[in-house]
């Protein structure tokens, strides 16, 4: 295997070092569910690890949990009620070559968005002076096409400004149409697995058509719609200029770490091996291990809450970190999205029905104002006068 290439497939290879290193590029990895996009991002991170390159993965699917079995890869699994001091974390990344997988699965979406936002801001402020790559799974939740969560601007800034600092990013999503175009416009490499949804194909068409030969885009979209599981269509003008910007290949299957992105095996109620099958499924409680992978570091960025604070409500997160540093005795306990949850009561018995501002008086004296008889009387009077005038005129003429 090449010592200076990031090898994703037999022909799908990228430079690992130098000014055109893949680690400082923005990538977009997409494909329908089960097409292999998370596998591809996992292979890429294993290659980073093999070549001594540093990465941070925000794992919203818990698909990359086993990367921690590799030397030089640590994991963090924050839970509700815990905080991550991202400035301290980025500081430790600058002092070590260790990579990091941060588990987001199971956390409220708002907390996930806060974590990523604070990380991106801390990373851009740090100027580490070395290359580091950030992988964001399910990126449509953090940079959606519709809406602007707190994570939106920091991620877009990382994609726009990161390359000059040696920072790259990989955005992973199964719905290209759901990812904001401003962020996707920063991608220099597209790794696209099978996509069949018309809206997603149209989104890719619009994104890739700018400044690109229409024939190339059509060829690319045809390949995407026909791709099988594990096959990927790579669009990378900076790397595949001699191949017409496009490389079609099958992603490597020789993983060093077991892939965690498996589907649930659904069986009928009478399945004879039901008991054995259930015994093999890890208990969700047991699967959530304590955050201890970085405890040997001098400054652990993950902090448990003191018991004295567990009954207190959470104030709005400090933008300098996900939550205020607990060493400053900040009042932190439960996530902000559950603070002061409104108690809606729709008891109609308590609803006071107010009277209208005015009422119609059905007993009003008809002589006090015009009624429906008034037009009839006027018409009758007009007819009588007309008849009288006609009679007089006729007598005079005779």
Six token digits for residue 108:
């409220």
pLDDT digits (tens, 9 = 90+) for 162-200: 999 999 999 999 888 899 988 988 999 999 887 756 677
Is the model more confident about 167 or about 261?
A: 167
Q: How far apart are CA 325 and CA 307, in angstroms?
A: 16
Q: How far apart are CA 14 and CA 154, in angstroms?
A: 27
pLDDT > 90? residue 59:
yes
Read off the CATH number of the domain in which 123 is found. 3.40.50.300
Domain with 81, as residue range(s), is 5-261+276-287
Identify the three-state secondary structure at position 259: coil
Residue 177 lies in a domain: yes
Six token digits for residue 161:
């400004």
Looking at residue 210, its pLDDT comes to: 53
Q: How far apart are CA 196 and CA 174, in angstroms?
A: 11
Can you point out the beta strands (E) in the chain?
Answer: 5-7, 13-15, 26-30, 54-59, 73-76, 83-84, 99-103, 132-136, 167-173, 189-192, 231-235, 246-250, 302-303
Q: How far is CA 214 from the centre of its chain?
A: 30
Q: How far apart are CA 240 and CA 251, in angstroms?
A: 17
Residue 329 lies in a domain: no
Say whether both 281 and 392 belong to one domain. Answer: no
Looking at residue 333, its pLDDT comes to: 33
Count other Cβ atoms within 10 Å, centred on residue 313.
13
Q: How far apart are CA 144 and CA 208, in angstroms?
A: 18
Residue 45 lies in a domain: yes
Looking at residue 232, its pLDDT comes to: 85
Query: 190 has which bridge partners?
Result: 28, 235
Please give the span between the terminal C-alpha atoms of the chain, in angstroms, as a whole number.
Answer: 128
Looking at residue 384, its pLDDT comes to: 73
Residue 148 lies in a domain: yes
> In 288-310, which positions are buried (b, 16+ CB within 10 angstroms) versus exposed (e)?
eeebebbeebeebbbbebeeebe
Say whether both 154 and 33 belong to one domain. Answer: yes
Is the model more confident about 139 or about 293?
A: 139
Residue 267 lies in a domain: no
Residue 253 lies in a domain: yes
Residue 353 lies in a domain: no
Residue 164 lies in a domain: yes
- Average pLDDT score, the chain: 74
Domain tally, the chain: 2
Share of the chain above pLDDT 90, in %: 42
Say whether both 280 and 386 belong to one domain. Answer: no
Say whether both 385 and 237 belong to one domain. Answer: no
């Amino acid at each position: 295997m090449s010592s200076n290439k990031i090898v994703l497939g037999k022909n799908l290879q990228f430079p690992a070092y130098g000014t055109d290193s893949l680690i400082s590029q923005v990538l977009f990895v997409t494909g329908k569910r089960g097409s292999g996009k998370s596998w591809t991002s996992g292979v890429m991170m294993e290659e980073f690890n093999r070549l001594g390159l540093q990465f941070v993965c925000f794992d919203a699917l818990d698909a990359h949990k086993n990367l921690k079995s590799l030397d030089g890869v640590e994991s963090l699994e924050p839970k509700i009620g815990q905080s991550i001091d991202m400035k301290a974390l980025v500081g430790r990344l600058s002092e070590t070559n260790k990579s990091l997988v941060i588990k987001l699965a199971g956390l409220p979406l708002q907390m996930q968005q806060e974590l990523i936002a604070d990380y991106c801001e801390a990373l851009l402020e740090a100027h580490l002076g070395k290359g580091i790559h950030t992988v964001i799974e399910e990126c449509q939740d953090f940079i959606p096409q519709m809406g602007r969560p707190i994570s939106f601007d920091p991620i877009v800034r990382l994609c726009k400004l990161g390359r000059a600092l040696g920072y790259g990013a990989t955005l992973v999503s199964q719905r290209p149409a759901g990812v904001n175009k401003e962020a996707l416009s920063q991608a220099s490499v597209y790794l696209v697995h099978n996509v069949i949804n018309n809206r997603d194909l149209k989104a890719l068409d619009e994104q890739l058509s700018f400044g690109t030969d229409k024939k190339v885009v059509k060829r690319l979209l045809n390949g995407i719609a026909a791709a099988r599981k594990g096959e990927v269509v790579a669009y990378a003008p900076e790397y595949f200029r001699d191949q017409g910007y496009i490389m079609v290949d099958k992603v490597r299957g020789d993983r060093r770490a077991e892939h965690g992105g498996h589907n649930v095996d659904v069986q009928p109620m009478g399945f004879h091996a039901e008991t054995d099958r259930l015994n093999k499924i890890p208990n969700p409680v047991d699967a959530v291990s304590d955050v201890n992978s970085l405890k040997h570091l001098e400054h652990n960025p993950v902090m448990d809450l003191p018991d004295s604070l567990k009954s207190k409500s959470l104030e709005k997160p400090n933008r300098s970190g996900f939550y205020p540093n607990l060493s400053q005795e900040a009042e932190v306990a439960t996530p902000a999205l559950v603070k002061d949850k409104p108690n809606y009561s729709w008891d109609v018995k308590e609803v006071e029905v107010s009277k209208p501002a005015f009422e119609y008086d059905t007993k009003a004296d008809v002589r006090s104002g015009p009624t429906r008889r008034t037009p009839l009387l006027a018409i009758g009077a007009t007819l009588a006068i007309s008849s009288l005038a006609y009679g007089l005129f006729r007598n005079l003429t005779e």
